[in-house]
Structure 1
Amino acid sequence: MQSLEIGYILSLAAASATLLGWVVMRIKSNPSERLIAYIFLFVALAMILVDLIQLIPTALDSGLAQTQVFIFLIAGFSLVLLISKLMSIKVGSGPSSSALVIALALSLHNLPEGSAPIAASLVDLPTGVTTALLMALHNIPEGIAITASAILAGYGHLKSLLLTLTATLAEMLGATAIFLSDDLFANIQNAGALLSFVAGIMLAICVKELLPYSFKTLRPSSR
């Protein structure tokens, strides 16, 4: 089996871990807002660490200049802000809008994220396995975040599952697209640009949605 095929299987497995987040929240019925706030805080910290430890350094190692990485980072960040603005206009502010923004933004960032284990496997198979494991561990709290935001919005189990499934399938779709067009990585800088863009999306989700809710809920005055 070639590295491309192994990387594709690893990407699908990592993407499937997102659904485990829904399972976790399904087992823990009716979680309190404080528990959800702690979950959001954990997810935000995990996403920021993945940005700083994996995505941005890898983008820099691809040969992109720091300025180029920053531009793609800002582009991803701005996309989430635009989505948030459009959703607030269409749906209004509040938990429902936040749930849709989180689900949509995570789905968008999962599209290119699905390429990460494949790209890493093409460079070095053990690195591909490690990357897939990190993505899986990262995807579980993502699934929890989507489900938790859906619960806050008053959505039932089926709708929260559909939102989580959307993010899961988005990552699988991204992996499939790369699998069918592996020549995208003929220029490694393309992968670096993609990873920078993903990092910007993840950072914006943390700053715009996850951290504000966590701090608002967990501050002493809210007890």
Structure 2
Amino acid sequence: MNDVLFAFLLTLFAGLATGVGSLLAFFAKTTNTKFLSFALGLSAGVMIYVSMVEIFFKAKDALSSSMGETQGYWYTVIGFFAGMVLIGLIDKFIPKYTNPHEVKKVEDMEEPKTPLNDPALMKMGMFTALALAIHNFPEGIATFISALQDPTIGFAIAIAVAIHNIPEGIAVSVPIYYATGDKKKAFKLSFLSGLAEPVGAIVAFLILMPFLSDALFGIIFAMVAGIMIFISLDELLPAAKRYDEAHLSIYGVMTGMGIMALSLLLMA
């Protein structure tokens, strides 16, 4: 039982790191569009890098070991695009809003004391929270099971997951904070997306342990990779460029990829 408790606490620690990222977003004013552009670019960099460098190939390895190299690769690609289609359908059926306060040019902005009131940013934050919750759920399962099998490995994984959950927390909280000016709402959604990790640990312990397989992990991770790429290309990067100044969004992308690469190296 002590091993189970330790594994769960490690998973909880990793998940709560999204709240740290959310708190970091609150050091900037709601009208600081330079920070907004950089942070959105950073979030896109994190999501693109982890999806294409880590999650996709984890899915491929899991499915290949279960189904064979060729068939596993096919199912990985199918799962990847199925994730894109899934989030695309969600996007399609989300009601479209008009934004009477849309900012067309950053340089023409005054310094209002109100939020940007941009529904596109709000929707982006909600989508990002959804994708990261889906991502964090199997990640929580993986952290929990690794810690049960080898506490030393589990601890290293939890630390690395916590590091890359910090910018993921920014990915959720920044657009919601800028859209609404509501710190509590931004923190709450970011916090809840991180709680998907300990929930994954609980589900793994109570329900899934007899059924966990490489094939199940592979399909989940492949779809999550597709979802995160879609959000980055369709939502995060266009919004980052809309508020861009002096290529800050691209510098954000590079920084996000660097942070993600470092956290993955720590996991190796």
State the TM-score, normalized to the length of structure 1: 0.84
Report how far residue 78 of structure 1 moved. Answer: 2.0
**Residue 78 (structure 1) aligned to one of 85, 95, 115:** 85
Counterpart residue number, 1:197: 223
> Is this contact kept in 2: 1:47–1:138, CA < 8 A?
no
- Secondary structure of the residue that 2:30 maps to in structure 1? coil
8 Å contact from structure 2 (residues 7, 144) kept in 1: yes
1:6–1:71 distance in 2 versus 1, CA, 3 Å: farther
SS of structure 1 residue aligned to 2:197: helix
Separation of aligned partners in 1, 2:192 and 2:8: 19
State the Cα distance separating 1:113 from its structure 2 match.
2.8
Instruction: Confirm or deny: 8 A CA contact 2:80 2:224 kept in the other structure.
Output: yes
Maintained 8 Å contact 1:116/1:131: no
Q: Which amino acid aligns with 1:26?
A: F
Consecutive unaligned residues of structure 1, counting only runs of 5 or more, are: none
> Aligned ranges for residues 179-194 of structure 1 at < 5 Å?
179-181=205-207, 182-185=209-212, 187-194=213-220
**Structure-2 separation of matches of 1:200 and 1:117:** 21
Question: Is the aligned partner of 1:167 residue 2:193?
Answer: yes
Give the match for residue 68 of structure 1.
75
What is the Cα-based RMSD across aligned positions, in Å? 2.7
Question: 1:58 — aligned with what?
Answer: 58
Would you say how many aligned residue pairs link Structure 1 and Structure 2? 220
The answer to which structure has the higher helix fraction is 1
Q: Paired residue for 1:177? A: 203
Residues 138 and 217 in structure 2, CA contact (< 8 A), matched pair in contact too: no
Change (3 A) 1:215 1:184: farther
Work out whether 1:44 is the aligned partner of 2:41: no
> TM-score by structure 2 length?
0.71
Q: Deviations over 1:111-166 (max 9, x none)?
A: 33322312444565444333322321221111112111112212411211221122
User: Matched residues in 1 for 2:44 and 2:153: separation?
Assistant: 24
Partner of 1:212: 238
Q: Please state if 1:150 is matched with 2:176.
A: yes
- Alignment map for 1:116-135 (pairs within 5 Å): 116-121=142-147, 124-135=150-161
Letter of the 1:86 counterpart: F
Contact 1:111 1:170 in 2 (8 A): yes
- Contact residue 18 and residue 142 of structure 1 kept, 8 A: yes
Q: Structure 1 CA distance, aligned partners of 2:135 and 2:97?
A: 21
